[in-house]
Amino acid sequence: MRNTLRIALVGAALSAVSFASAASAATSATANASAEVLSTLTLTADSALNFGQIAANTGGTVTVNADTTTSFSGSLVSTGTRAPAGFTVGGTPNANVVVTLPASATLTRFGGTETMSIGGFNSNPPGAFQLNGLGSGTFAVGGTLTVASGQVAGVYNGTFSVSVEYQ
């Protein structure tokens, strides 16, 4: 029994020495951490998306693209001032931002209930772009207006929302 006790004590002592050796082999290092807080983005609508004047006839579409090109389809006539909407973004200099466009929007006749829909929204520059060294940038938004056959005459107005976020 005495030998068993001695062997157990020797084993415990050896275990303690090996744990102490492992603990003394540990090391540590310190790393730096950093973060940059970006300026809050601002977005201003500078001008409206304008589809001009339209003679509906049997209907069709009027497209005003963000790059200022225009087209129309069907038997309608499109004339007058047609222009994309213009926006200004403010934020952190040289940061990248991405533009999110709506899927659709509705125009309603002033004083009435008749509507027309806008779809096919597009932007210029498309998708994402970099703010300049002063922290600002501009972009344009266009879309396609669907005009029904015999669309009721009048002035149609509506709104649509775009958003920007840092990329």
- pLDDT tens for residues 68-111? 999 999 989 999 999 999 999 999 999 999 999 999 999 999 99
Which position has the token pair 């779809």?
119
Decide if 49 contacts 156 (C-beta within 8 A). no
CATH number of 42-166: 2.60.40
- pLDDT tens for residues 126-151? 999 999 999 999 999 999 999 999 89
Q: Is the pLDDT of residue 27 over 70?
A: yes
Q: In what order do the strands lie in the sheet with 163-166?
A: 128-130, 96-100, 163-166
- pLDDT tens for residues 106-129? 999 999 999 999 999 999 999 999
Element (H, E) at 77: strand 77-79
Q: Is the pLDDT of residue 49 over 90?
A: yes
Boundaries of every domain in the chain: 42-166
Q: Is the pLDDT of residue 28 over 50?
A: yes
